[in-house]
Structure formats: structure tokens, C-alpha cells
Chain A
Amino acid sequence: MNFLAPWWVPLAVAGLTVPPLVLLYFLKLKRRQLPIASTLLWRKAVQDLQVNSPFQKLRNNLLLMLQLLILAAAAIAVSEPMLRGQGGPGKVWVLLIDRSASMSSREGGETRLDQARAEAHTLVDNMRSGDQAMVISFADRAQVVATLTSRKEALHRAIDSITQSDATGRLTEAMALAEAPTSQVGERSDDENPITSAEYVLFTDGRLADAANVQVKSGTMQIVRVGQTADNAGIVSLDVRRHYERPEQLSVLARVRNFTGRKLSRDVSLLLDGDVKSVRTAELEPLAVGKDLGQLTLGGVPAQGSEVIVSFELSLATAAQLEVRLSGGDAFPVDDRAFAIVAPPRPVTALLVTPGNRYLRQLLASLPLEHHEVWTPQEYENAPEDKLVQDGRCKFDVVWLDAHSTNRLPPGNFVFFAAAPLIPGVETGEVLKQQPFLDWDETHPILRHVPVQAISVFSWLDIKLPEDAIPLIEGPDGPVMALLRRERNQYLISAFGIFDETRTHVNTDWFAQYSFVAFGYNAVRYLTGSSTIGQQPPVAPGEPFTVPVKPGISSATVRRPDGSTEKVPVRASDLLTYGQTDRVGIYTVSPGLSGDDARAVNLTNDEESFIAPNDDFRIAAGEVVASQRVERANRPLWRYVLAGLLAVLCVEWFVYNKRVFV
């Protein structure tokens, strides 16, 4: 048995309380005087009792003894006795606490994060002297909330400070953070400190998308799996589109999915600026019948009837904030609401900058644009600012640049053919000829209905792009078509043009295919979709978003979904970037540009909405021990001491009453 309190605490308590108690017993008891016939027999009786009792002194002062016993028990209780816990000397614990969206699932009045915190507290209580621990909380990003320390109060405080996030759970970064300090400890242990490798304890419900990539390089990982319920149905995607040809017509498509093992019927409501506009009922089949949901992975389960797409059509000629709400409570309310910011309808305009390209002119002419202009490269470069730029943005929604690389790139959308934006990180090299397309992303909206394999291209430029560029078509040496975003600009770069570098021969047969028109349609729609046709690009919880603000201001206020506000500095390019998007809802920036001052943060993540705890949780490599809970090793004994104290009090009460009421 150990005592948590220092040795002097019980001594001090005893020193303060025992002498007054004993002194009290030196005071004479005030006795009631009673006349009797003779004290002869009474004296004899008292003497007899004293003589016959082997513990006569004890009997005389039984009350004193009982009270001394009580004081001793209290002194022991104050010293916080503990039964010796388990574990070897000087362990290093790394507590990884999942605070992702699924951990907000509520069961039995508390969330999974609450359960995880409680288990973590138990583990900290179990720590022996010499043990050290660090606490890392993670959702999409990891954060060290307590560095390696042996101070339990600091660890308890750190555990309590962990807040819920609505972001998805990713373990990789947390493990990277965890392994850095523990490896230092390991090095130190080689010389004087006998600390062994770290014990990683992961508190999670097991829904971590990247768990299969995580490796435990040294030490062991214990997984404390919290949560039991799978009771959830949620909105897993939300798509809001304006009709391409009738921009005032709005289509809202919400994908609702049942993650439970039973059939559900849920009302899906559409709210426009807080008012309910329409309600649909979604009948949802069970995710899986007769199977243990904890053993399932979403990838292995066909959607069947468990997923329903609910569509709403409405006419909306203004900007608005949309909300789709799923009725009926479940354990995981985060995905029962999804938000969208709808920009006002605006007709699309385009500019074609080309030394002469009738195929592109025909393409633009075929697209449903309000109007388009065709400039030569010289006209483009020499055009006065007001002809090209309006309100800090390019006057044209999409600028098509044919065989003209330029650095005149006002905020806007650009499509380059056989050219590239002259910006840092983008380089053009020599012409590569007669090479095949190796790979392409046919799922990307720009390449929808575009059979890339049917396109023949004779040559293209060797373009080096930054790593964050999204390749759409790849050749042997690099991207052939890619999408690059830079601040408020989007660049769709095609390394090949319609004509070859001499502009005397056509370079491709693409213009003769219907997919060329489809590509043009897709490109305009995709590039302008965020600002003119439909909703603002969706933001996942934890991801930063960027909002343009009025030129010249140095800071703006972000109003979060819970109503709190935060002052955020604005960068030089009149852009505000905000990263604390850990809760779903609408984030509004003020002062912002009218119609473009808010962003919606939605979970819309199948994996995170599938809250059934993962019974089959695995990591890539390392020793893993799974458990449901942390066993309490350091059992506090003060409760038992207190119970004993109460028992003694009861005995005292009994003895006292026995003496008085004969």
C-alpha cells in the first residue's frame, strides 16, 4: 500500500487533533448527584468490575479509544492510501485522444469524448511515481495538449481541456507528434535513465480513416475503444446547383444515409435563411441486416436502399444560406445538418486570347455564355486595367489563353492551351512528341463525358507544376493537363494546344470530337461554379477557407456557428484565411464582399458518420493490445477508511446508548 500524501500530513493531522481530544478527557465529567442509602455495595461493584476486567483501563476509556480510532482512521484517510498499482518503473505513456466528429456521438448522457476523457483520467490515476505521460488530441490535425510530464494534475487539466471537433479523425500526424519526444526519451535512457520505450494508449471509437497507414515503431499501442452505439443516419453529401441556362433555378441534392441495422424513416427539411421551405421523407433501408456493424467497413457494404438522394427544386434569384436538416434524433447530431452558401445568379462571360484559333472560337460560341470576347495576346497584354479588372477581379469569368503564357493574371479563372501562367513554381520546357497518356482522372468534373483515351495528341509542352497541382491527365514525364489554384486564381493548364508550335498543323483531333464541347462546358461550369453558378466550394471541418475582403482593411471578424466571434488579420492580397473550422455550420466574415462573405463547413463524410465502433481496428504495424477500458490500478482506499470510520461512529453510538439506556 502506498500513501499519496507526504508522510508529515497524517502526523500533522494527528498532532493537531489527538492532544485536544485527550485533554478533553482530562476534564472532569460533570456528574449528576443522587442520594442513595449506602455507597457500600456500589463501591464494591465498581471495584469488582475494575478488578475483574482484563482491560479495565480500556473499558474505562472506551469512548476515548473509539475516538482515537476515528482520528487515526481520519489521519490515514488524509494521507490518501493507495493499493500498489501495476506496471514497471518509469514508464512513458502517450495518450492519444480522438476528438474527431464521431467522438461526439452521445450515449447514455455522455459523449464518446467524455468516455475517452474518463478512461484517460483513470490511466493517469494509475500512473506510478516515476511514470511520465504526454497527451495528444487529434481530429484532422494533432495537437500536443500536455508535454511529457509526471505531474498528474497537469495531465488531468490537459485531458479536461480537450474540446470536441467536427473534423474527421486522422491518426498519422498524432503518431508523428507522439514519436518525436518519446524517441528522445529512448536515447536518454541509454545512459542513465532506465526508461523503456513508450506505451501508446489510443482512446478512440476506431473510425480513423488512416489507421491502416499508422505504424508503431517502438513500444506497444493499447487501444481503448469507446462507444457502443451505431444509431445514426446522416447527410453525407450536399450539392447545390443553379441551372446552367436558368440561373435562378436552384437544385439541392442531399444524400442521406442510414448507418444503423434497422429501417428508418426520416424527414429531410430544406431551410432557406432559417425558414422551412420544403420537407421530404426519406425511407432508409438498414445498412446491413443480420451483421455486426462493428465488423463492417463502408467500402465492403453496398449502399442499396440505405442511401437516398433527396432533391429539392426552388427558384431563388438572390444569395441565400441554405440548410438541409434531418429530423429525428440520433446519437450523432453533427451530420444531421448540412449548410450551403448560395451566390446570386450571374451570367458567365469569357475572354479568348489567341493569335487565331477558330476551333476555340467555335467552342466558346457554342457554350451558353452571356457574351464572350476574342483578343489577341498583344491586346490582352496592352489592355488597360479597367478593361480587364473590375472590383479587384477579372471582368471575365473565364479567360482562355491559347499559346500565350503571361504573368498578367488578375484574380479569376484561366484556361491555358499550350501555355502556362508565369508564376513561381510553374515552368515550361521543351516540346515532347508522340507520347501516350498514361493516366487520367475520369471522375473529375472537368473530364466528365470526356473519353481521354480517344484523344490523339501529337506533342505537348513539358510543364513542371507545383506539387499541389491536381493532375487531370498524365503523361510519362509529367502532367499533360492539370488544375492549379493560387489564392483567388484557378488555372486549368493543358500542355498541348489545338495547333502545333508552328501553328500550321493541328496538334490533335480533339476539336473534332463531341468531348471537346463537353470539356469546354465542364471547364466553364467547374471554374465558375464557385462564384457564379452554384454554391461556394464546400469546406470540411478542420480545413481552412479563404474569403475575399474589402481592399485595404487589416483585420476582419469571423462569426462562428456557435455565435462567438474572432478577429482575424487580413493578408496583403485582401484575402482572409481562417483555419479554426472545427465545428460545422456557417462562418461569416465581416466586413466582407457582399454575396461572398460566408462559408459553409459541413461534415458530409461517410466514414465519420458511420459511428458504429470499429471492432476490427487495425494499424499497419506494431504491437497492439485492444481493450474496452482502462482498469483502475491505483485503487484509493480512503473510501474504505471512511466507511470504517463511520462504522466506528456507529459502534460508539451503540455503546453510548447501551450505557445510558439500561
Chain B
Amino acid sequence: MSTAIKRNHLLDPEFMSRLERLDIVSRKIFAGKTKGERRSKRKGQSVEFADYRNYVVGDDLRFLDWNIYGRLERLFIKLFFEEEDLHVNVLIDASRSMEFGDPAKALYAKRVAAALAYIGLCNYNRVSLCAFSDRFGPEMSGIRGRRLIHQVLGFLSDIEPDGIGNMTAACKHFAIRYPQKGVVIVLSDFMDKGGYEAGLRYLVGRHYDLYAIQVLSPEEIDPPLAGDLRLLDVEDADTADVTVTRALLNRYKQNLRGYCEGLREFCTRRGVSYLFTSTAVPFDQMVLNYLRRRGLLR
């Protein structure tokens, strides 16, 4: 199934208007590159008073508190909170396995990414979108302002799931390439035969405000399979001969639950927010309810 879909299929205007009221919440305060609408760690020129400090030579005389000088005859400089922009990075798994399901997991992930990007753009955050499979890219980095939403939608529409997922390499690459702190949202099924742990560790090491959103299709959660089958892995063409029995299905579901639970536990231990969703969950409900409930949006 081609994911090169029309842009307005990712976000319709009505939904976009509902997104405009939302903002991405970072549980951490980061130093931004440019001034933005978000309080920075740094003291700067916003209107919000932060603290006083003694005047040293070279300070801007405009920030001297003359009222204090009048009472105490000592020079104090007023410090204000600096308001800076926020880096919002969305990592989208574009491996071939994301093409699976109806609707495809890739489409679902792209919609979530588009929604988050739009929320970020509306709030003057610096939004970066990166797709990965066995290689890193394509990417769209550092865009700001809601007028660029069409570029974002175009970029997302053009992402074609292909190749074998390699999360470790992708995360390593991302961590090197995007050293700025910010919110990182990974949209993937996390079904990586190489494992997801190493990749996530790279991201955790950069102290991003990290969100892991696992997207699975209903066909994966409760497979409608029966009989003697040769299962073909769409990524690496690996085959598995199975005779689907009730016991095998139960075992599969048990393993899936264990796998997801393992991912959740891995994330929780490392301060990563983990969200599980099925493509059966309506996309708007996922964004407006689930993500707000998990604190990513407000």
C-alpha cells in the first residue's frame, strides 16, 4: 500500500483547528537556540522577574534596579526569565513492517507525527521530522511557524515505508545529529529484530524528553489466522512455518503482551514515556485524549 497520500488525508482542517489550542509539554526546561514562547533555563529579557544579582562592570545599565539603589545605595541587576523556543523532534519508523495493517501503521504514525508537528509549529517550537528504516532519513529539521505546515504534510506524505528497521543505527544517528535538548517522540512498532534497547539508550543518554509511541495493527494484536501457514516477514522475507492452533495463538498473544510490557518497563525505568496504541483506535481520539492524558499535550 502506498503511503504517498494526499496531504489533507493526514490532517483535515477541522482537526487542525482543534489542534491549535494544544501545546506540547516538556517535562524539562531546555535552553533554546532563539527566543521563543517558552521559558528557558537562561535568564534573559522576558517580562517575568527571576532574581537579583550584584552589578558587575559591563552589565547592561538598563537592568539596574534603581528603586533598590535608592533604598540601599547598592547596585543590583534585575534578572528576568529568558523565553526560548522548544525543539520538538519526531522520529518515524519507515521500515516495511509499518506498511502492515489496515489502516497501515505507517499512515497512522504519519498522522500522529503531522498532528504533533502542527501543534509544535503553532507554538513556535522548532520542529524536526526524521524517518528511519535501515538508514536514517529523509528528514526535515528545524522548521518553525505554522505557515510551514504544508511542507511538513508534504514531507510526511512522501515518506515511503521501505527497508528493514534498524532502530539502533537510526537513534545513534539522530543523537549525534540533534544534540539540542528537546522533546523526542519515537513512532514505531518497535518490532526490530536487532532490539530496541540500544537505540533508546542512545536517546536517553542525550537527556531528551523522550516519548515512545508503539503503534500496532489489530491484525498483530489478535491475528485472524488458522491452519497450516507459511508466514512471510515483509521486511526481511524471513519465513516461519506454523500450524496455527489455539495454543500457538495464545502463546503468540502472551509473547506480544510480554514484549510490550518489556518495552514499557524499559521506558519507565529510564524516564521515557511509553504509549501503546492500535490503529483501531481513532487517530483523533488518540491525539486529543490519549496524548493529553499522558501529558505530552495540554
Residues of A with Cβ closer than 8 Å to B? 29, 31-46, 48-49, 658-662
What residues on B are CB-neighbors of A44 within 8 Å? 255
Stretch at the interface among B119-127, B221-229, B281-289: B221-229
Say if the beta carbon of B97 comes within 8 Å of chain A: yes
Identity of the chain A residue whose Cβ is nearest the Cβ of B100 in the assembled complex: A37
Tell me which of B97, B234, B235, B246 contacts A658 (CB under 8 A).
Answer: B246
Identity of the chain A residue whose Cβ is nearest the Cβ of B98 in the assembled complex: A37
Identity of the chain B residue whose Cβ is nearest the Cβ of A41 in the assembled complex: B255
Are A37 and B240 in contact (CB-based, < 8 A)? Answer: no
Say if the beta carbon of B252 comes within 8 Å of chain A: yes
What residues on B are CB-neighbors of A37 within 8 Å? 97, 100-101, 105, 189, 191, 217, 219-220, 233-235
Interface residues in B97-111 (C-beta closer than 8 Å to A): 97, 100-101, 105
The secondary structure that dominates the B interface is: mixed
Say if the beta carbon of B16 comes within 8 Å of chain A: no
Tell me which of A33, A39, A662 contacts B244 (CB under 8 A).
Answer: A662
With contacts A37-B97, A38-B193, A39-B240 known, is A32 near B228, CB below 8 A?
Answer: yes
What residues on A are CB-neighbors of B223 within 8 Å? 36
Say if the beta carbon of B242 comes within 8 Å of chain A: yes
Say if the beta carbon of B176 comes within 8 Å of chain A: no
What residues on B are CB-neighbors of A659 within 8 Å? 226-227, 243-246
What residues on B are CB-neighbors of A46 within 8 Å? 240, 242, 248
Identity of the chain B residue whose Cβ is nearest the Cβ of A43 in the assembled complex: B240
Say if the beta carbon of B249 comes within 8 Å of chain A: yes
Are A38 and B229 in contact (CB-based, < 8 A)? Answer: no
Are B232 and A40 in contact (CB-based, < 8 A)? Answer: no
What residues on B are CB-neighbors of A29 within 8 Å? 228
Tell me which of A40, A45, A48, A49 contacts B193 (CB under 8 A).
Answer: A40
Are A32 and B246 in contact (CB-based, < 8 A)? Answer: no
Say if the beta carbon of B50 comes within 8 Å of chain A: no
Identity of the chain B residue whose Cβ is nearest the Cβ of A42 in the assembled complex: B240
Say if the beta carbon of B18 comes within 8 Å of chain A: no
A36 vs B244: C-alpha distance in the bound complex, in angstroms?
A: 14
22 sample A-B contacts, Cβ–Cβ < 8 Å, listed by A number: A31-B228, A33-B229, A33-B232, A36-B219, A36-B231, A37-B97, A37-B105, A37-B217, A38-B97, A38-B189, A39-B238, A41-B191, A41-B255, A41-B256, A43-B240, A45-B254, A45-B255, A48-B255, A49-B251, A659-B246, A660-B226, A662-B249
What residues on A are CB-neighbors of B231 within 8 Å? 34-36, 39, 42
Are B232 and A41 in contact (CB-based, < 8 A)? Answer: no
A43 vs B191: C-alpha distance in the bound complex, in angstroms?
A: 13
A42 vs B105: C-alpha distance in the bound complex, in angstroms?
A: 19
A31 vs B243: C-alpha distance in the bound complex, in angstroms?
A: 9
Say if the beta carbon of B45 comes within 8 Å of chain A: no
A38 vs B188: C-alpha distance in the bound complex, in angstroms?
A: 13
Are B230 and A32 in contact (CB-based, < 8 A)? Answer: yes
Which one of A32, A38, A40, A46 has the greatest number of beta carbons of chain B within 10 Å? Answer: A38
What residues on A are CB-neighbors of B256 within 8 Å? 41
Are B234 and A32 in contact (CB-based, < 8 A)? Answer: no
Identity of the chain A residue whose Cβ is nearest the Cβ of B96 in the assembled complex: A37
CB distance from B231 to the nearest CB of A (A): 5
CB distance from B45 to the nearest CB of A (A): 51
CB distance from B219 to the nearest CB of A (A): 8
Identity of the chain A residue whose Cβ is nearest the Cβ of B251 in the assembled complex: A45
What residues on A are CB-neighbors of B249 within 8 Å? 662
With contacts A48-B251, A49-B248, A662-B226 known, is A35 near B234, CB below 8 A?
Answer: yes
CB distance from B74 to the nearest CB of A (A): 68
A40 vs B223: C-alpha distance in the bound complex, in angstroms?
A: 14
Interface residues in B238-287 (C-beta closer than 8 Å to A): 238-249, 251-252, 254-256, 259
CB distance from B166 to the nearest CB of A (A): 13
Tell me which of A31, A45, A658, A662 contacts B230 (CB under 8 A).
Answer: A31
Identity of the chain B residue whose Cβ is nearest the Cβ of A36 in the assembled complex: B231
Tell me which of B220, B232, B248, B255 contacts A34 (CB under 8 A).
Answer: B232
CB distance from B17 to the nearest CB of A (A): 34
CB distance from A463 to the nearest CB of B (A): 106
CB distance from A279 to the nearest CB of B (A): 80
Are A35 and B232 in contact (CB-based, < 8 A)? Answer: yes
What residues on A are CB-neighbors of B101 within 8 Å? 37
Identity of the chain A residue whose Cβ is nearest the Cβ of B230 in the assembled complex: A31
Tell me which of A34, A38, A43, A49 contacts B225 (CB under 8 A).
Answer: A34
A45 vs B223: C-alpha distance in the bound complex, in angstroms?
A: 13
What residues on B are CB-neighbors of A660 within 8 Å? 226-227
What residues on A are CB-neighbors of B233 within 8 Å? 35-39
What residues on A are CB-neighbors of B226 within 8 Å? 659-662
Are B245 and A662 in contact (CB-based, < 8 A)? Answer: yes
Are A38 and B245 in contact (CB-based, < 8 A)? Answer: no
What residues on B are CB-neighbors of A45 within 8 Å? 242, 248, 251-252, 254-255
What residues on A are CB-neighbors of B220 within 8 Å? 36-37
Are B248 and A32 in contact (CB-based, < 8 A)? Answer: no
A188 vs B266: C-alpha distance in the bound complex, in angstroms?
A: 96
CB distance from A146 to the nearest CB of B (A): 60
Are B191 and A31 in contact (CB-based, < 8 A)? Answer: no
CB distance from A40 to the nearest CB of B (A): 6
Are A32 and B227 in contact (CB-based, < 8 A)? Answer: yes
A70 vs B222: C-alpha distance in the bound complex, in angstroms?
A: 36
CB distance from B107 to the nearest CB of A (A): 14
Nearest first, the 10 closest Cβ-Cβ pairs linking A and B are: A37-B100, A38-B191, A31-B230, A45-B251, A45-B252, A37-B97, A39-B240, A39-B233, A33-B230, A35-B232
CB distance from A100 to the nearest CB of B (A): 69
What residues on A are CB-neighbors of B246 within 8 Å? 658-659, 662
What residues on B are CB-neighbors of A35 within 8 Å? 100, 231-234
CB distance from A653 to the nearest CB of B (A): 16
Are B255 and A36 in contact (CB-based, < 8 A)? Answer: no
Are A36 and B100 in contact (CB-based, < 8 A)? Answer: yes
Contact with A along B188-231 (1 / 0, CB 8 A): 01010100000000000000000000000101100101111111
Contact with A along B119-151 (1 / 0, CB 8 A): 000000000000000000000000000000000
Known contacts A35-B231, A42-B242, A659-B227; 9 further A-B pairs (Cβ under 8 A): A31-B229, A33-B239, A34-B225, A36-B232, A37-B100, A39-B232, A41-B252, A45-B242, A48-B251
Are B228 and A41 in contact (CB-based, < 8 A)? Answer: no
Identity of the chain A residue whose Cβ is nearest the Cβ of B227 in the assembled complex: A660
What residues on A are CB-neighbors of B255 within 8 Å? 41, 44-45, 48
Identity of the chain B residue whose Cβ is nearest the Cβ of A60 in the assembled complex: B243
What residues on B are CB-neighbors of A42 within 8 Å? 231, 240, 242, 252
What residues on B are CB-neighbors of A661 within 8 Å? 226
CB distance from A41 to the nearest CB of B (A): 5
Tell me which of A32, A38, A49 contacts B235 (CB under 8 A).
Answer: A38
CB distance from B216 to the nearest CB of A (A): 8
A34 vs B241: C-alpha distance in the bound complex, in angstroms?
A: 10
A460 vs B73: C-alpha distance in the bound complex, in angstroms?
A: 196
Identity of the chain A residue whose Cβ is nearest the Cβ of B245 in the assembled complex: A659
What residues on A are CB-neighbors of B193 within 8 Å? 38, 40
What residues on A are CB-neighbors of B228 within 8 Å? 29, 31-32
What residues on A are CB-neighbors of B219 within 8 Å? 36-37
What residues on A are CB-neighbors of B105 within 8 Å? 37
A39 vs B219: C-alpha distance in the bound complex, in angstroms?
A: 13
A45 vs B229: C-alpha distance in the bound complex, in angstroms?
A: 14
A42 vs B232: C-alpha distance in the bound complex, in angstroms?
A: 11
Tell me which of A38, A39, A49 contacts B239 (CB under 8 A).
Answer: A39
What residues on B are CB-neighbors of A31 within 8 Å? 228-230, 241
Identity of the chain B residue whose Cβ is nearest the Cβ of A655 in the assembled complex: B245
CB distance from A65 to the nearest CB of B (A): 15
Identity of the chain A residue whose Cβ is nearest the Cβ of B99 in the assembled complex: A37
CB distance from A43 to the nearest CB of B (A): 5
With contacts A41-B255, A44-B255, A49-B251 known, is A34 near B229, CB below 8 A?
Answer: yes
A660 vs B246: C-alpha distance in the bound complex, in angstroms?
A: 9
What residues on B are CB-neighbors of A40 within 8 Å? 191, 193
A157 vs B19: C-alpha distance in the bound complex, in angstroms?
A: 99
A45 vs B252: C-alpha distance in the bound complex, in angstroms?
A: 5
A40 vs B233: C-alpha distance in the bound complex, in angstroms?
A: 9
CB distance from A58 to the nearest CB of B (A): 14
